[in-house]
Structures are given as structure tokens and as C-alpha cells.
A and B are shown apart, each in its own frame.
Chain A
Amino acid sequence: MQAYSNNNLNNLDIRQQAEEAFEQGIINEQSIFAIKQANPFGLYTPAFFIRVALALLCIVCVSFAAFLCFLVLYQSNNFLLIFLLMFLACYVLLEYMVKTKKYYNAGIDNVLQVFSIVFFAGMFADGNYAHQDVVICIAVIVSAAWLAIRFADSFIALVAFAAILYCIFLVIQPGNPVYSFIPFIFMLVAAIVYLLQQQLNKKTVLLFYKKCFYILSVAALVSIYAAGNVYVVSTLSKPLVSSATAGSGHYTVLWIVSILIPVIYMVYGFIKQRILFLRIGFLCGIATILTIHFYYSVLSPEAAFITGGFVLIIIGYVSLTYFKNSKHGFTAKSYTTLNKNLVNIETLISMQVGGKHLPQQNMQFGGGSSGGAGASGNW
């Protein structure tokens, strides 16, 4: 079923970990060279920016190929044929590229996988089914699951997971006896996916799915929280919340879940030294605070911003000082000399937030034309 040889992907994993160790100065240039020589990687993965450009150009090519196909066939009114032809073209090309050119995360193969799913699902969108949305969703699940297994693509694995959750959402509609339990059903499904990937991740024969398992674990943990968040539930399922009014048992349970899950994640992450749980727990905690602010607002927006800002700066400063010399298995030090991605992202945000726009002769203060770190634009 796997399109790539295990050897290639295992070697890639070794090379990537060796490169990390090299960047941290643990192994020298001679060793990294020897490791690469001993673990050859025969697949084609170009540099990051080239990958992005290849993906963009592939999107252009496939989109205009579909447009051309439509131009030729639109008079026959046979949209099924257009989708079928495009699906076959994308999938066959994908298999060909992977088999002969050995593409792996080259941008082109990633885009072809996405288009394969789109065109495959499109074949079922002709309005001939009683439950059209469910059928399309199942088509997405089937195609995405197959592609994720065959090409070990983490984004496609995420698509399959999202499609499963959406399918459940479409199947369990108001009137269904289990409708009032839908948040807990979502939590259960996400928890099952999390546990399943944990078990599969331990198998050495499935090592090349490591990235897929990682993405699935992130998605599952976020979904467990989101499924119980009061705001998310009320937005996605209005009848459920209107039946579970404030003060009812259902409503209370959702609030308890919204508060408890971030705490559980963070405590677990701290005890087990799992940075993923700490990060997701912290973000979920912020989401819970925002939910509380949305329903029981006690602070004005500006007071909330200032308080939030102060709290984050204090947490950041105290943690930097506290973990300076490593405590409880954590440190504030970096193992690499420069985190380039972090610098680039910070620089981009600074430009956007603090950058000046055109000065105008009759400008009104607060009109959003000067720096104000986000106060610009709408204020």
C-alpha cells in the first residue's frame, strides 16, 4: 500500500535528526557527512521555497486544465465526466510522479493529492443522492484515508480526520435521539483517534507515518477541547444550546469541561514533560478565558487587552527567570543558536502592527493611520 520504500523514509528520519544534532553542535561536520553517506535518501524533496513555488504553479496548471476540460465538455452537460477525467488525470499523474520521479513532499505531489480528493468528491456532487452532503463527506474520507496511507501525507491525514468529524455532525441532526450528546460523541471520537494513533506510533514498522500521527494527535487534542467549549457548541449547534439553557445540567457540564480540559492538559504536560500538551493546554486556556469574557464580560476590551498583555509579560518574564537554570525538567535556554522562523514571524507581525500607513492631511487621531499595535484600522 505504501508508495515509498520504508528504507528511504527511515533514512530521511535519521538524516533529519542528525541534522538537528549538527545544528545544535553535538556532532561535527565529518559525522553528519558520514551519516548522510550511510543513509542515502533517494526521494526528491526540493528546498522549501522551491516547494512552495512548485505547489503554486501546480495549482495554476490543474485549475486551468480543469477549465479547459470544462470548455471542451460543458455543452454535453456531463459534469460527472469532467470530474472523473480530472480525478483520473490527477491521480495517475501523482502515481507516475511518485513512482518515476520519486517525488516526496515536493509541492507538486501534495497539490495533486488535494485535487484528487476534490475531483473524487466532486463526482458525487451531482444532486442524485438523498443525503448529498453525507455522501460527499464519505467520498472525502475514503479518498483522503487512502492517500494518507499511500503517500504518508500529514495534511491529507488531517483532512480525513476533519471529514470524519464533519460526517458525524451531518449524520446526527436535531431530532436524532443522541443529538443532545453530540459534544461528547465528538470528544469520544477524537479521544479514540488520539489513543489509536498513540498505539500505532509505537510500532516501528509504521515509523514513516510519524508526521501523520503527530498532526492527528494535535488535531485530536484540540478537537476534544473544542467539542466541549460552550461558544463552539452554541455556534455550531444552536438547537442544542437553546434546549440546554443557562443553569441546566448540560450547560454546566460544558462549562466544567471548558475549564477542566486546559488544566488537565497543562498539568499532564508539566508532569510528563510533554511540550505539546503544555502548548495546547495554554492555548485552550486562553480560549476558555475568551469564552468567559464573551458570555460574562466584566472588563472593557481595552482593559482586557491591557490586563492580558501585563499577565503574559509577567508570566513570560517570571518563567524566563525561573527556568533560566533548568527546573522541573524545563529550561528557558535555546539549544539552537538562532530560531530563524521565530525571528521572521516576529518581524512580519511588527511590520504589520507598528508600520506606518500614509499620513493624510486631515487625519483624525485614531483613524488608524499611525502605529498603535493593532489599534489601527478599526478604531
Chain B
Amino acid sequence: MQLAYIENLFSQQLINEEEYIALKEQHKQPVSLYTDLHILLYAGILLLATGLGILIYKNIDSIGHGIVVAIIALLCAGCFIYCFKKSHGFSPVKQLAINPFIDYILLLGCLLLLTLTGYLQYQYNLFGNHWGLATFIPMVLLFIAAYYFDHLGVLSLAITNLAAWLGITVTPLHILKSNDFSNIHLIYAGIILGIGLFVIAYISEKRNFKAHFSYMYRNFSVHLSYVCLLAGMFHYERFYFIWFLFSAGLTAFMWWYALHIKSYYFFVVAVLYGYIAIGYVLSRLIFVWKDETSFYAYALWFILSGIALIRVLIHYNKIIKQDAGIQQ
């Protein structure tokens, strides 16, 4: 805080003497490099894992498969042994890391584990024709690592592997591109996974078992469910209204839930996905006219609905703020 502000606040008796001294002391505090050093470590881990990936790919014939597997396995084992030795061990509640370096070594170990299983399956056909096992085993290991070492990044890797095991890509840049949503089984799998993840989030909170993981589960759950429902609506034109009803149902639930947990994020997510669903249905109805009028109606719909939604968001922003006791 600026010195002038500190003096002012103290002269107005808005802060006590202890706080006044602490705030003045803060000025003498060293500059924190925490964020910068963490980004540096993270970038280093990603570069190293990428470099190793390319190295293996390019030299696969010249290095020799055995040596490649041995190097990756050794590195991977080294990372996990280091983490086991240095970490707190398992705890059902959130833990603060003893040393932030452990988090990054664990991440490197998990990325190497994924490379290793993929490589073993391709080269040695380790899991035979049970392709699912090549995804299932690393997924289980990643879940164990995430829960044991209390690592959100590894948990997200585990969830993406769980989705891949069911045949769905949930990485942010590939969710729309890599999935074949014309396959009805994929849509159903996505919806079931979405519901499952939501239930896990609920249980985690209810039982206070890694309750801080619940946000991650819920986030995946909501986006996956909405993307699958919208995909169902876009691809199955004959039954699009049924899919729309499910989307509307989910929006109503998420609306209630966001207000219940006072979450701006989930409220916005529900509103925007719901808007897309309604927009799609209305655009289908409007384009039935098939003349110039439909363009006017289309433009008017987006302008008016946009304004209406803006008013709704402003209204609920106020309500959530009041309910959460956030002072203006």
C-alpha cells in the first residue's frame, strides 16, 4: 500500500497501530519472485518433456527401443521416488507443499508416465489388443498420484485420461475438433461422464474428502455435459427439441445451483450455454420463412435477447453479491 494512504488511514483511525506498523514494514519487504520462479519451473518442465518427446520420435530407430524405454522409465521413476521422499504423504484435506519444486517434478513424472505407456503399447504391444488398458492404467496411476500428492494439475490430467478411456477428448483446444459428435454413443458417454463427475464433486464436498478437488470435477462436468447436449441438438435435427429440453433442464439446474453456491462463474456458464441453445432453436424457427424478413427477425432477436440477458446478468450479479455478503 502507498505510504500516503497508510498515513491517511491511520490518521482517520481506520487501521490500528499494529496494522499501521505492519503496513509500513511491508514497504521494506523484499520483492516476491514467487510467481515468476514458478512459471520458469513450469516452462522448463514443459520444454524438457516436449524435447524428450521429439527426440524419441526422431531417433526411434537409431537409439534402440530398449534404451529409450529404460531412459524414460528411469526418469519417471526418479521423479516419483523424489516426490515420495519429499512429500507429506496422503491426507484427505488440502495440503500446502513443503517445497514447490516437488509439484513440478511430479508433473514431469506424470507427463513421462503418459509418454512411457503410449510408447510401450506402440512398440511392444504391452496391453495386446486391449487398447482401453493403455489409457486405463495411466489414468488409475494419475488419479492415485493426484490424490496422494494433492496435485490439481495431475488431477486434470487424470480426468482427461478418464474421458479418453471413454472415447472423448476433453482438452480445451480439441474438445470440438477431435470428437465425432455424429456418433450418438459418444454423446451419451459424455453426458454420463458429466453427471458422474458432478456426483464425485458433490460427494467430495459432502464427505470433506479432497473437497478442494470438487471445483475441478464440476468444471469438467458442466462443460462436457453442455457440449454433448448442444452437439446432440445440432446433429440430430429430427429430435433437436428433445435435446433442447435437456439443455434447458441443465440450464435451470445450473442457474439454481450457481445461486445456491453463489458462483458467478457457473451462473455465467449456464446463461451463455442456455443462450446458445435458445438461439439455435429460434434461428431454426425464424429461417422457416426463407426470405429477407428472416434476416431482420434474426438481427432483432439477437439485439433484443442480448439486451434482456445483459439486464438479467446485472440483476443476478447484485443478488449473488448480496447473498455472499460482499460489501459494495
Choose, from A15-23, A133-141, A235-243, the stretch at the interface: A15-23
State the majority secondary structure of interface residues on B.
helix
CB-CB < 8 A to A46: which residues of B?
Answer: 313-314, 317
Residues in A with CB closer than 8 Å to B327 are 33, 36
Q: By CB atoms of chain A within 10 A, which of B50, B58, B110, B117 has the most?
A: B50
Chain B residues within an 8 Å CB radius of A356: 114, 135, 138, 160-161, 163-164, 169
Would you give the shortest CB distance from B168 to chain A, in whole angstroms? 8
Known: A21-B23, A335-B32, A373-B46. A379 touches B53 (CB 8 A): yes
For residue B245, CB closer than 8 A to chain A, the reply is no
Give complex CA distance A351, B219 in Å: 13
User: Which of A47-55, A143-151, A249-257 lies at the binding interface?
Assistant: A47-55
B310, A58: Cβ atoms under 8 Å? yes
Given A61-B302, A275-B36, A335-B32: A17 and B2 interface contact (C-beta under 8 Å): yes
On whether the beta carbons of A371 and B114 are closer than 8 Å, the reply is yes
In contact, B47 and A26 (Cβ under 8 angstroms)? no
Whether B98 sits at the interface, judged by CB under 8 Å, is no
Instruction: Encode contact with B along A217-235: 1 for CB under 8 Å, 0 otherwise.
Output: 0000000000000000000
Find chain B residues with CB under 8 A from A342 CB: 35, 38-39
Assembled-state Cα–Cα distance A41/B173 (Å):
39
B163: which A residues are within 8 A, CB to CB?
A: 356
Which of A14, A36, A302, A375 has a CB less than 8 Å from the CB of B5? A14
**Residue B182 at the A interface, CB < 8 A?**
no
Beyond A50-B317, A342-B39, A350-B153, whether A375 also contacts B53 by CB under 8 A is yes
* Cα A46 to Cα B321 with chains together (Å): 9
Chain A 1-38 per-residue mask, 1 if CB under 8 angstroms from chain B, else 0? 00000000000001001101100101110010111101
Interface centre among A56, A327, A375 (most CB of B within 10 A): A375
A323-379 contacts to B, CB under 8 A, are 323, 326-327, 329-335, 339, 342-343, 346-359, 361, 363-366, 369-376, 379
- Are B47 and A275 touching (Cβ within 8 A)? no
Are the CB atoms of A331 and B57 closer together than 8 Å?
no
Using CB atoms, name the residue of chain A closest to B167.
Answer: A358
- B38: nearest residue on chain A (CB-CB)? A342
Q: CA–CA, A54 to B119, complex, Å?
A: 46
B178 is contacted by which of A304, A331, A357 (Cβ under 8 Å)? A357
Cα distance A67–B297 in the bound complex, in angstroms: 12
CB distance from A152 to the nearest CB of B (A): 18
- B107 touches which of A314, A331, A335, A350 (Cβ 8 Å): A350
Q: Report the Cα distance A376→B30, complex, angstroms.
A: 41
CA distance A278 to B32 in the complex (A): 12
Residues of A within 8 A of B38 (CB): 316, 339, 342, 346
Asked whether any CB of chain A lies closer than 8 Å to the CB of B271, the reply is yes
Q: Are A47 and B310 in contact (CB under 8 A)?
A: no
Contact, CB under 8 Å: B309 / A355: no
Name the one of B1, B19, B135, B265 contacting A49, with C-beta atoms under 8 angstroms: B265
Considering only CB atoms, which chain A residue lies closest to B15 in the complex? A31
A303 within 8 A of B: yes
**Which residues of B from 178 to 200 have beta carbons under 8 Å from A?**
178-179
Confirm or deny: B62 has a beta carbon within 8 angstroms of a beta carbon on chain A. Answer: no
User: By the criterion CB–CB under 8 Å, are B44 and A310 in contact?
Assistant: yes
For residue B43, which residue of chain A has the nearest CB?
A: A312
Partner among A34, A71, A302, A334 whose Cβ is within 8 Å of the Cβ of B51: A302
A-B contact pairs, 17 of them (CB 8 A): A17-B5, A21-B1, A26-B23, A31-B19, A50-B264, A67-B295, A71-B296, A273-B30, A275-B33, A306-B47, A307-B51, A331-B32, A331-B34, A351-B156, A353-B49, A357-B174, A379-B57
Shortest Cβ-Cβ A-B pairs, 5 listed: A375-B53, A305-B51, A309-B48, A312-B44, A373-B49
Other contacts beyond A27-B23, A359-B164: 15, CB < 8 A: A17-B1, A46-B314, A61-B307, A64-B306, A316-B104, A317-B101, A330-B30, A330-B33, A334-B34, A339-B34, A355-B161, A358-B164, A374-B49, A374-B50, A375-B50
Q: Which residues of A contact B (CB under 8 A)?
A: 14, 17-18, 20-21, 24, 26-28, 31, 33-36, 38, 40-41, 46-50, 52-54, 56-58, 60-61, 63-65, 67-68, 71, 108, 273, 275, 278-279, 282, 301-317, 319-320, 323, 326-327, 329-335, 339, 342-343, 346-359, 361, 363-366, 369-376, 379
Q: Which B positions have Cβ atoms within 8 angstroms of A?
A: 1-2, 5, 9, 12, 14-16, 19, 22-23, 26, 29-58, 60, 100-101, 104, 107, 110-111, 114-115, 117-119, 122-123, 131-132, 134-135, 138, 152-154, 156-157, 160-161, 163-164, 167-174, 178-179, 216, 264-265, 267-268, 271-272, 292, 295-296, 298-300, 302-303, 306-307, 309-310, 313-314, 317, 320-321, 327-328
